[in-house]
């Protein structure tokens, strides 16, 4: 399977860092307010928060990055994702209703795009493939656009 | 081909329109603003309102500025988003219809809201809010012109008006169906009723001391076995009557007629309901039954449809209470549907039992053990856990599947038995998921997604052996994307 763009790994790490920073800040604030009153030893909240943040920045991005993968077949797109629960989705390209290419602010700064395939289904009405180099995403969009079976309602 | 540059904007009046639309909501914030500004007096309130207005108008302006669209040769492209940019491509092939909506406010401005329907789950797929009426009509013309070129299969179908009766439910069958619709719910309802007339009864049914006493050897004189038997008998009788009445009101004179390419259904005693189910909108069929009903050969058939425009999306009853042959006959008329072939459907992996048990038994056992620290009597509950295990094993016997040609069969449920018949051509996407425990046991869950599916009860095959799951997914996707012909197995 094709891995996602390496820049996506940086994006995941960046997201992890932001989440970790928020977590640590929250832990320190809560500890500063409640710690003294409850007589907790210093670092009861902050230490686990720092560990969790380390996990989010050091370990988790690599695992999440490795979990993602895609394969553009002739008639279908295969997407693999998920660290704990692994999910493998197959979308027949003839079933695609419309296609989005979107970009958040962080993604834009790294030159990444997200490809979103919408089908008429309910459970997987959106199949999201993040972390694509912008040109790749657009090329895939055009390719899928060309494969959408004409004449079918 | 998607190189079309989105250069069209919505009508600038949109900014004002959206602002006016949200203004009434903002009025609610005024009391808070007044409270805040009460010390500053009138000028402060005025300044606050002005600032709020400016902020809202600016954000509307920004959204307007960032929203662009273009109609290309064979698709509509919409770009939107202030911070996150989104570029959506909607091919004309996928556009079911272009709706033009005009609210009163929009009419004042000479604007219209254009909704591009694609049948993708009925959400806001392509919404142009708002453009001038002329532009809206231009869009609709372009899309309709595109579709007019493609031959319409529908037109031929509509010219066969005379119908053929496929299924009708007579009064005896209706009564039988009503008896099967008996539910414990009615007994609960009966007791609720009893409570209302509490004073009229010689005993208090909600007196826990009485019930406790009953378990022990204390029996009040009036509270005899005969009295209990009568109450229970009445409850069951009432349950049966309620079931019959409810069923009769809903399904009296149920008829299913085939007219050209459409099923027409009518039913109801007090209010006659009529519904049309176009055959090509049917996404899958489901056959429902229960252990008792099944033993007598009865089941109910329903279709899952994809609605468009005014039509309803979702589950539509086709024959609520029918014999196997009748179900088969209706299915044959519906297109590529049939009941499963004689070779039995395959069961899922045996390890499914283990996984269900780990998921259900362990937390329950832990809960009981934790509870027993305070109340040792709770340990007796552990005796019921083997029952749960038996239940899980029985459920597995009823969870079966098969892929026969282009039709996928999935059966589930021991008490509420359902058999899904999914034509693979209608599968929108399929996914294999493996949780941590499933990975350890070598299992995978396969779910197929269809249009108009409910979120809760959708066809899923839980805990297949990994290799089987992958092979099945590969076969389904091969059919779904049209790589194989239908006759091949």
Confidence class of residue B339 from pLDDT cuts 50, 70 and 90?
confident
Query: What average pLDDT does the segment A146-150 reach?
Result: 71
Angle, helices B171-180 vs B225-251, to 10°: value is: 130
Percent of residues, chain B, with pLDDT higher than 70 = 79
Q: Which residue has the higher pLDDT, B18 or B213?
A: B18
Q: What is the mean pLDDT of chain A?
A: 88
Angstroms from A122 CA to nearest CA on chain B? 6
What was the pLDDT predicted at B483?
A: 59
3-state secondary structure chain A: CECCCHHHHHHHHHHHHHHHHHHHHHHHHHHHHHHHHHCCCCCCCHHHHHHHHHHHHHHHHHHHHHHCEEEECCCEEEEEECCCCEEEEEEEHHHEEEEEEEECHHHHHHCEEEEEEEECECCCCEEEEEEEEHHHHHHHHHHHHHHCCCCCC
Angstroms from A36 CA to nearest CA on chain B? 32
Residue of chain A with shortest Cα separation from B450: A121
Angle, helices A46-54 vs A6-30, to 10°: value is: 180
DSSP 8-state secondary structure symbol assigned to residue B252? T
Cα distances (angstroms) measured from residue B307 to each of A101, B37, B122, B293, B303: 27, 51, 9, 31, 12
Phi, psi of B175, rounded to the nearest 5 degrees: -65, -45
- Position of tokens 């988790």? A60
Does the distance separating the beta carbons of B447 and A127 come in below 8 Å? Answer: no
d(Cα B349, Cα B441) in Å, to the nearest integer?
Answer: 10
Q: Which residue has the higher pLDDT, B455 or B152?
A: B455
Confidence class of residue B344 from pLDDT cuts 50, 70 and 90?
confident
Confidence class of residue B18 from pLDDT cuts 50, 70 and 90?
confident
ipTM of the complex: 0.84
What was the pLDDT predicted at A15?
A: 94
Q: Which residues of B touch A138 (CB under 8 A)?
A: 2
Q: Record the tokens describing residue A14, joined without a space.
A: 């960046």
Query: What average pLDDT does the segment B34-50 reach?
Result: 71
Chain B contact for A105, CB < 8 A? yes
Confidence class of residue B472 from pLDDT cuts 50, 70 and 90?
very high
Chain B contact for A91, CB < 8 A? yes
Query: What average pLDDT does the segment A1-30 reach?
Result: 93
Q: With H, G, I as helix, E, B as strand and everything else as coil, classify residue B109.
A: helix
What was the pLDDT predicted at B191?
A: 67
Residue partners of B381: CB distance under 8 A and separation at least 6? B368
What was the pLDDT predicted at A16?
A: 94
B51-83: pLDDT as tens digits: 888 888 888 888 888 899 988 888 888 888 888
d(Cα B301, Cα B398) in Å, to the nearest integer?
Answer: 18
Q: What is the mean pLDDT of chain B?
A: 80
Q: Which residue has the higher pLDDT, A68 or B362?
A: A68
Q: With H, G, I as helix, E, B as strand and everything else as coil, classify residue B481.
A: coil
Does the distance separating the beta carbons of A101 and B1 come in below 8 Å? Answer: no
Judge contact between B17 and B130, C-beta under 8 A: yes
d(Cα B200, Cα B192) in Å, to the nearest integer?
Answer: 14
What was the pLDDT predicted at A66?
A: 94
A76-117: pLDDT as tens digits: 899 999 999 999 999 988 888 889 999 999 999 999 999 999
Classify burial at B487, counting beta carbons within 10 Å of its beta carbon; exposed 0-12, middle 13-18, buried 19 or more: exposed
Judge contact between B447 and B429, C-beta under 8 A: no
Lowest-confidence range among B33-37, B90-94, B95-99, B134-138? B33-37
Confidence class of residue A21 from pLDDT cuts 50, 70 and 90?
very high
Judge contact between B184 and B239, C-beta under 8 A: yes
For chain B, counts of helices (H) and of strands (E)? 16, 20
Q: Which residues of A touch B441 (CB under 8 A)?
A: none
Residue of chain A with shortest Cα separation from B90: A98
* pLDDT at position B153 over 50: no
For chain A positions 45-84, those within 8 Å of chain B (CB to CB) are 74-76, 82, 84
B356-397: pLDDT as tens digits: 888 888 888 888 888 888 888 888 888 888 888 898 899 999
Does the distance separating the beta carbons of B432 and A123 come in below 8 Å? Answer: no
d(Cα B110, Cα B16) in Å, to the nearest integer?
Answer: 13
Angstroms from A28 CA to nearest CA on chain B? 31
Dihedral (Cα; B480, B122, A68, A4), 10-degree rounding:
100
Judge contact between A112 and A99, C-beta under 8 A: no
Nearest to B89 among A105, A145, A153 (CB): A145
Pick the residue of B429, B449, B453 with the most A CBs within 10 A to test the interface with A by mutation. B429
Residue partners of B60: CB distance under 8 A and separation at least 6? B14, B15, B18, B19
Does the distance separating the beta carbons of A84 and B436 come in below 8 Å? Answer: yes
Nearest to B87 among A74, A102, A146 (CB): A102
Confidence class of residue B481 from pLDDT cuts 50, 70 and 90?
confident
d(Cα B98, Cα B71) in Å, to the nearest integer?
Answer: 13
What was the pLDDT predicted at B20?
A: 81
d(Cα B475, Cα A114) in Å, to the nearest integer?
Answer: 29
Confidence class of residue B32 from pLDDT cuts 50, 70 and 90?
low
Q: Cβ–Cβ contacts within 10 Å for residue B127, how many?
A: 15
B281-301: pLDDT as tens digits: 888 899 999 888 888 989 999
Chain B contact for A147, CB < 8 A? no
Q: Record the tokens describing residue B293, joined without a space.
A: 């009903």
Does the distance separating the beta carbons of A102 and B90 come in below 8 Å? Answer: no
Q: Which residues of A touch B120 (CB under 8 A)?
A: 97-98, 118-120, 125
Nearest to A90 among B88, B119, B477 (CB): B477
Does the distance separating the beta carbons of B75 and A92 come in below 8 Å? Answer: no
Confidence class of residue A152 from pLDDT cuts 50, 70 and 90?
very low
What was the pLDDT predicted at A88?
A: 94
Does the distance separating the beta carbons of B81 and A102 come in below 8 Å? Answer: yes
Q: With H, G, I as helix, E, B as strand and everything else as coil, classify residue B154.
A: helix
Please write down the long-range contacts of B316-319, taking CB distance under 8 Å and 24 or more positions apart.
B316/B265, B316/B275, B316/B277, B317/B265, B318/B167, B318/B256, B318/B263, B318/B265, B318/B277, B318/B285, B319/B166, B319/B167, B319/B169, B319/B254, B319/B256
Cis check: omega of the bond before B82, within 30 degrees of 0: no
């Amino acid at each position: 399977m094709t891995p996602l763009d390496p820049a996506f790994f940086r994006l995941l790490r960046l997201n992890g860092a932001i989440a970790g920073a928020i977590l640590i800040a929250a832990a320190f604030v809560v500890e500063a307010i409640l710690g003294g009153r409850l007589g907790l030893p210093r670092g009861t909240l902050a230490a686990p928060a720092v560990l969790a943040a380390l996990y989010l920045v050091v370990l988790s991005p690599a695992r999440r990055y490795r979990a993602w993968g895609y394969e553009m077949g002739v008639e279908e797109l295969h997407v693999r994702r998920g660290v704990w629960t692994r999910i493998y989705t197959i979308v027949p390209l003839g079933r695609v209703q419309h296609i989005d290419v979107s970009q958040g602010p962080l993604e834009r700064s790294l030159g990444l795009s997200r490809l979103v395939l919408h089908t008429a289904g309910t459970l997987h009405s959106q199949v999201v493939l993040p972390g694509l180099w912008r040109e790749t995403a657009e090329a895939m969009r055009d390719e899928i656009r060309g494969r959408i079976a004409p004449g079918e309602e | 081909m998607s190189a079309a540059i989105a250069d069209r904007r919505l009508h600038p009046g949109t900014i004002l329109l959206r602002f006016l639309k949200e203004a009434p909501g903002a009025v609610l914030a005024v009391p808070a603003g007044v409270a805040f500004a009460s010390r500053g007096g009138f000028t402060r309130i005025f300044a606050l309102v002005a600032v709020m207005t400016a902020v809202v108008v600016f954000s509307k302006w920004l959204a307007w500025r960032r929203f662009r669209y273009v109609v290309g040769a064979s698709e509509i492209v919409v770009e939107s988003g202030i911070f996150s940019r989104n570029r959506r491509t909607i091919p004309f092939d996928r556009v079911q219809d272009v709706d033009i909506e005009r609210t009163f406010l929009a009419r004042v401005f000479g604007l219209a809201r254009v909704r591009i329907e694609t049948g993708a789950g009925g959400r806001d797929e392509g919404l142009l809010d708002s453009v001038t009426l002329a532009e809206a009509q231009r869009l609709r013309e372009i899309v309709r012109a595109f579709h007019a070129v493609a031959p319409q299969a529908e037109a031929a179908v509509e010219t066969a008006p005379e119908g053929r009766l496929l299924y009708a439910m007579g009064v005896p069958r209706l009564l039988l169906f009503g008896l099967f619709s008996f539910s414990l719910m009615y007994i609960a309802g009966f007791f609720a009723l009893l409570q209302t007339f509490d004073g009229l009864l010689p005993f208090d049914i909600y007196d826990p001391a009485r019930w406790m006493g009953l378990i022990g050897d204390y029996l009040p004189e009036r509270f005899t076995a005969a009295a209990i038997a009568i109450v229970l008998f009445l409850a069951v009788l009432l349950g049966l009557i309620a079931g019959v009445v409810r069923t009769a009101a809903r399904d009296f004179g149920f008829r299913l007629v085939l007219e050209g390419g459409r099923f027409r259904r009518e039913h109801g005693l007090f209010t006659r309901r009529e519904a049309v189910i176009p055959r090509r909108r049917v996404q899958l069929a489901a056959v429902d039954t229960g252990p008792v009903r099944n033993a007598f050969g009865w089941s109910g058939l329903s279709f899952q449809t994809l609605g468009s425009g005014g039509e309803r999306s979702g589950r539509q009853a086709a024959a609520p209470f029918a014999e196997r042959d009748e179900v088969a006959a209706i299915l044959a008329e519906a297109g590529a549907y049939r009941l499963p072939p004689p070779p039995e459907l395959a069961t899922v992996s045996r390890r499914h039992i283990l996984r269900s048990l780990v998921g259900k038994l362990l937390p329950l056992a832990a809960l009981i053990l934790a509870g027993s620290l305070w109340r040792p009597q709770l340990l007796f509950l552990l005796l019921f856990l083997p029952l749960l295990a038996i239940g899980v094993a029985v459920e597995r016997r009823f969870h079966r599947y098969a892929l026969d040609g282009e039709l996928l069969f999935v059966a589930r449920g021991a008490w509420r038995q359902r058999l899904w018949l999914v034509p693979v051509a209608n599968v929108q996407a399929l996914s294999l998921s493996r949780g941590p425990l499933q990975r350890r046991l070598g299992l995978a869950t396969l779910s197929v997604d269809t249009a108009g599916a409910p979120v809760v009860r959708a066809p899923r095959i839980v805990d297949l052996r990994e290799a089987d799951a992958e092979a099945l997914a590969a076969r389904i996707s091969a059919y779904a994307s049209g790589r194989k012909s239908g006759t091949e197995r």
